[in-house]
Amino acid sequence: MRKLILEFNPGDLIKNLYKPIFETFHSIEVLEMLRMDFEEGVKVGVMVLETKENIPVHDVKLPDFAKILNILKSESNKHTCIVKIQIPKEVIKMFAEFKLDLIWTTPLTLSEENWVYSCIGDQENLTKFIETIKNYGDVVNMRFQKAAYQERDILTVLTEKQREVLIAAFKYGYYAYPKKITSEQLSQKVNISKATLVEHLRKAEERMLANILVGQN
């Protein structure tokens, strides 16, 4: 397994798609990808949005395919947010081409002219990714590194019960958009009360975000 860091200059198709975003933002930095569904064309992640000219993030008008779900922190023109992107139907087939056996990691940044992707995988899947992305722009630079995994996985910050409930919530579609299961139905799946379930999820989400955003206070 190796890590690929690829610098990419998007072509006209992608530039035109993201043009409304970069009329307002200098750059987007993905801190953590929470969901990546290539079939449904959905991406949800914790991202730092850097606005132009100190535009308040509340005043930002995003295109229909992008939505800020939650603002976690704002400092000057940098806003740490949970963002959902629903890939438009006209390009969802393109997005699905990137459904490969890869782990998406950091750095992952987007700007008007230059994007940086990072992913971990075997040589076969990394090569497929490179070949595919060349269809949609120019690869400016790329380098490979030995994949280094931290022994401490993000889920280890949770209690055993928090992990169990969080994994069940993801498995049964509680975090899908729209939700595939209610909190009441999910509580029955894991044999606890609705109030206890919601409390476990709240604490799990709080701990995970605190771990992701450590040092950002």
Domain boundaries, the chain: 2-146, 154-212
Helices (H), the chain: 12-22, 92-96, 123-133, 160-171, 183-189, 194-212
Tens of pLDDT, residue by residue over 45-57, are 899 999 987 677 7
CATH of 154-212, one of 1.10.10, 1.20.1260, 3.40.50, 3.20.20: 1.10.10
Q: How far apart are CA 25 and CA 45, in angstroms?
A: 17
pLDDT digits (tens, 9 = 90+) for 113-144: 889 999 888 899 999 999 999 999 999 999 99
pLDDT digits (tens, 9 = 90+) for 203-216: 888 877 776 665 55
Q: How does pLDDT run across 8-56, given as a tens digit for each residue?
A: 999 999 999 889 889 889 999 998 887 888 888 899 889 999 998 767 7
The whole-number pLDDT of residue 215 equals: 52
User: What pTM value is reported for the model?
Assistant: 0.68
With vertex at residue 173, the alpha carbon angle to CA 190 and CA 65, rounded to the nearest 5 degrees, is: 155
pLDDT band at 152 (very low <50, low <70, confident <90, very high): very low
Cα distances (Å, whole numbers) of residue 102 to 30, 45, 127, 132, 192: 16, 16, 11, 14, 35
Q: Is 168 helix (H, G, I), strand (E, B) or coil?
A: helix
Q: What is the mean pLDDT of the chain?
A: 86
